[in-house]
Amino acid sequence: MRDAFRHVTESIAHKCAPTGIRIPIARPRDPMSQNISPLAGKPAPTSILVDVPKLLAAYADTRPDPSVPAQRVAFGTSGHRGSSLQGSFNEWHILAITQAICEYRAGKGIDGPLFIGFDTHALSRPAFESALEVLAAHGVPTMISSGDEYTPTPAISHAILMHNRGRTSGLADGIVITPSHNPPDNGGFKYNPTNGGPADTDITKWVENRANALIEGGLKEVRRMPFAQARKAAGTREHDYLDRYVTDLANIVDFDVIRSAGVHMGVDPLGGAGVHYWAPIAERYQLDLTVVSDKVDPQFAFMSVDWDGKIRMDPSSKYAMQRLIGLKDRYDVAFACDTDHDRHGVVTRSGGLMEPNHYLSVLVDYLFRHRPQWSADAAVGKTVVSTALIDRVAKRLGRKLYEVPVGFKWFAPGLFDGSLGFGCEESAGASLLRRDGTAWATDKDGLVPSLLAAEITAREGRDPGELYRQLTDELGRPFSNRVEAAATPAQKAKLARLSPDQLHTDRLAGEKIEQVLDKAPGNGAAIGGIKAIAASGWFAARPSGTEAIYKIYAESFKSEEHLQGLLDEAQKIVDAAIA
């Protein structure tokens, strides 16, 4: 539903408006027929495929202009991202960021190995080569993937935690090179510190500022060596991420119950970093698992087009997932992961592609009933914009709810020390503890939730889609949606600073507002926006960390009509607040 009802407000009125003033635009009455590209869900035409040679040439040749904000290093919720064609992800960025990371490690006394890996985006391999040139020049012991195999994000987090277990010195950290599910012309680069999860703001801001200073100085302080020399450096060592990760999966997924039930599974890696992980998983654990496609193509020409006419490897999008949706009746349950395999999408025979919030609710309900070795105090983690059905599930389970701002970094400490059994965000990202209650990965893991869909089907005798319907019969059915609208930097800053006393109303869609939040209940951190809660629904508004837009999330436990009322009133509240 998120994709089918996504609104992208036209920007033409903003171009005519004075700076800092937004002219509200009436949304179409039939959003399903508006703003959705005619290409959505169809095979990608050659006209929209990225020119890979041009992309790679721009990576090597373009020098970012630090006076242009869009060309500066900028760490959002998932590292620095951009496109070489727009001067926002180029060799200079990677050299500067890696130099800054080396300096950060030295300053903090981090002297263990650095685990590094890259996904299948065209810009990821050259970014890896640039990074290794700097790491080797600094003598950083660097663990690269055996045979230059692609590396999923969770495999890097898992490797960091495995190395650091029981250690107090010689701790490891990592670099993940991926723009996640973003289009083929994008690149991404993020740092995971010694807890294995995404770096917190205090780290990323330091790295960002230092990297920009290095670029402004013409990279004169950057140390590097030729890639061929870096590849053979004494500190550069191969690490078999695939075997270590796959071998350890039995400690987090119950493969015995899957195998005994004979669950017939299908997986579409969407040409991502875990493309070569699935066959070894099937072989090692003797699973009835079919890999729909193992094709890797930097243009991702095999994808169906996403809602806005772009290619995007989003396993939660019904448009991008057309291939697997079309095969749903062949399998008891099927699943896919995005390009770095840190997000999941589950396709059931009973209902097709599940909404992320729907499957996450089922996961919470299942895991906390079938992981007896987890601590009785282990909490359920969710972001403030994830479904309130999870709140209801947690309450029924007698589990503490830990609600945090958007960003998986907020879950890393709890997943590290076991105080969180499970952490999730509404964009299909999640991680959890091992079956014995110890840490598995403190970054998002797409493979494990996918495999858990099969475990759930095996143990419950029904697929997750059927279990979701049972859950809503018992706890209430949510109707949810997300709206996006263009916003200037000044407007985004206003929205991020919005406080409860700036909401000049005590009613929301006919109900009394019970609570207004600008800080997350779980950890007291600013949510970078606002959330208003009534008895039967809520809305949250926050600026995007990576795009010139703001987002409004809403959920009703009454009806689609009530949901639309929530969105309409939320839009008015936000417009008034940022005008």
Q: Which residues of 307-345 are buried (b: 16+ CB within 10 A; e: fewer)?
A: bbbbbbbbbbbbbbbbbbbeebeebbbbbbbbbbbbbbb
| Cα–Cα dist 101/191, whole Å | 8
Write out the two tokens for 403.
């609600």
Tell me which residue of 303, 318, 368, 314 sits closest to 344, measured CA to CA.
Answer: 314
Write out the two tokens for 568.
């309409």
| Cα–Cα dist 102/94, whole Å | 12
| Cα–Cα dist 148/568, whole Å | 50
Close Cβ partners of 392 (under 8 Å, ≥ 6 residues apart): 475, 476
- The active-site residue, picked from 78, 145, 180, 536, is 180
Q: How many CB atoms lie within 10 A of CB 90?
A: 27
C-alpha distance from residue 46 to each of 43, 51, 55, 179, 299 (Å)? 9, 10, 16, 22, 10
| Edge-to-edge order in the sheet of strand 420-425 | 401-404, 379-383, 420-425, 429-432
**Using the 8-state DSSP alphabet, how is residue 446 labeled?**
S
Write out the two tokens for 50.
């990225």
250, with CB counted inside 10 A (0-12, 13-18, 19+), is middle
Confirm whether 180 is a catalytic residue.
Answer: yes
| Cα–Cα dist 342/213, whole Å | 31
CA 517 to chain centre: 24
Q: DSSP letters along 358-416, please?
A: HHHHHHHHHHTTS-TTS-TTPEEEEETTS-THHHHHHHHHT--EEEE-SSGGGGHHHHH
Q: What is the 3-state secondary structure (H, E, C) of 507-533?
A: EECCEECCEEEEECCCCCCEEEEEEEE
Answer for the pair 263, 446: CB distance below 8 angstroms, yes or no. no
Half-sphere exposure of 575 (CA within 13 A, CB side): 15
Write out the two tokens for 336.
């896919």
**Using the 8-state DSSP alphabet, how is residue 169 labeled?**
S
| Cα–Cα dist 415/381, whole Å | 9
| Cα–Cα dist 154/160, whole Å | 10
User: What letter represents residue 543's amino acid?
Assistant: P
| Rounded CA Rg of the chain | 23
Answer for the pair 578, 487: CB distance below 8 angstroms, yes or no. yes
Coil, helix or strand for 429?
A: strand
* Catalytically active residues, by annotation: 180
